[in-house]
Structure 1
Amino acid sequence: MKSKIHEYPKKNIENMSKKIIVIIALAITIVSCNNNEKPAAAAKELKTAYVDTSVLMKEYTEANDIQEKYKAKADEKGRQLEAEINRFKQEASNFQSQAQANGQEWAQKKGAELQRREQQLAQAQQALAQQLQQEVGVEMDSLVTGVKKFIKDYGKEKGYTYIYGTGEPASILYAEEKLDITKEIVKLLNEKYKASATKEEAKK
């Protein structure tokens, strides 16, 4: 009896995180910061910069911590399921020889049982993947909202008219390197995240 169950995808959470990073990059592609200046003055004082969103998400500590958290969670929750799948595969591989020894009636009964278990394990795999995807999605949505607000506040404070997002999902094909503020944004975000984590530790 051949099993249709796939091995538990240990890299599932990594692939999911990569997709989410693309969504994040799209979400913060352009942050507009209006200075409420007169049109003529705004044209003279036009100040722009850009953030490489792909680099930002790779180097932002909080984003990396979320990904590591859910990779560990996927391994932990998947370990028990993987053991059950391995036991099932062992039984399924022994089914043919046992059927010959135990007869047709036993084979029909055992075959039906194995099919039910196969369906249950497949459903458990799907449910686990959906649960992890939903949980990581909630945290990443919150992270995106925080990053967008941070960049907007930064733009207002520094007097930028526009801060653009670049990276694979973005539509900006060229910009001067001197306008790249990615390192500054990553540095400030990481400092803010570290300070927040330190405060949380102090409360415990």
Structure 2
Amino acid sequence: MKKTPLILSVIALVLSSIAIWKGLSKEEQVYVDVNKLVEGYERTKIVRTDFQEKAKTLNANIDSLISGWQNELKSYEKERASMTKKEKELKQQLLSGKQQQITNYQQTIQKQIKEEDQKATQTVINDINDYVKAYGKEKGYKIILGASGAGNIMYADEGTDLTTKVLEGLNAEFRGK
């Protein structure tokens, strides 16, 4: 009779050990280093190369316009002494107008380059996010955290999302003030 509690204790200990081992054998919460994913992703290199080529071409166009304007300015400075006052004023207005057009064009191109860079980066990030989400579902992870200094979540099982509850509480607290 004294052996029964001992046998039950041993069985309970073995079952507990198995349960703990099974629980620890598969992590449900994991993380990825987002910066390493972006840097190591082969498409990132291709997208960056394509972007750099496009930016280089657009900047070369700007450089060409600036060079042409500078040549006109040098020509004006050489001929200025032989020009009438009216010719000088007209040429200065033309040069000033051209300079303003180049500046506006340069700003437009820089904005376009920035937008293209953001689109290219977002394409890579979308690829990574989609893959991580599919990977997480396939492997049965409940949550995959993205470590990038900001702690972004890359994938989360819908059951682990507390956004609605937190938002309700936050709004309730705000209304109470």
* Both structures adopt the same fold (TM-score exceeding 0.5): yes
Distance 1:141 1:167, change over 3 A: closer
Q: Is the 8 A contact 1:50 1:165 kept in 2?
A: yes
RMSD between superposed Cα atoms in Å: 2.8
Q: Structure 1's 127 and 144: CA in aligned 2 closer, same or farther, altered over 3 A?
A: same
Alignment-derived partner of residue 167 in structure 1: 148
**Counterpart of 2:65 in 1: which secondary structure?**
helix
How far the C-alpha of 1:97 sits from its partner, in A, is 4.0
- CA distance in structure 2 between the partners assigned to 1:167 and 1:156 by the alignment: 22
Report 1 or 2 for greater relative contact order, CA contacts < 8 Å, sequence distance ≥ 6. Answer: 1
Equivalent residue for 1:127, pick from 108, 111, 117? 108
Report 1:54-73 matches (<5 A): 54-73=35-54
Question: Contact conserved, 1:54 with 1:168, CA < 8 A, in 2?
Answer: no
Q: What number of residue pairs does the alignment pair up?
A: 132
> Is the CA contact (8 Å cut-off) linking 2:38 and 2:124 kept in structure 1?
no
Moved more, 68-77 or 44-53: 44-53
* 1:146 aligned partner: 127
Question: Cα deviations across residues 130-162 of structure 1 (Å, max 9, x unaligned)?
Answer: 223333433433332221121011112222222
1:51 partner SS: strand
Contact 1:48 1:162 in 2 (8 A): yes
User: What's the CA shift string for 1:84-130, capped at 9, x where partnerless?
Assistant: 21121232245344322323221101000001101111111122222
Alignment of 1:50-129 (within 5 A): 50-129=31-110
Structure that is richer in helix per residue: 2
Percent identity between the aligned chains? 21
AA of the residue aligned to 1:158: K
Equivalent residues of 1:46, 1:160 under 8 A apart: yes
Return the index of the structure with the highest Cα Rg: 2
- CA shift digits 1:8-27 (9 cap, x unpaired): xxxxxxxxxxxxxxxxxxxx
Give, as a single letter, the amino acid of the residue that structure 2 aligns with 1:113. L
Contact 2:145 2:152 in 1 (8 A): no
Point out where structure 1 has 5 or more consecutive residues left out of the alignment.
1-41, 173-204
The aligned residue for residue 156 of structure 1 is 137
TM-score by length of 1: 0.55
Structure 2 CA distance for aligned equivalents of residues 115 and 94 of structure 1? 14
Give the distance between the partners of 1:44 and 1:60, measured in 2 at CA: 29
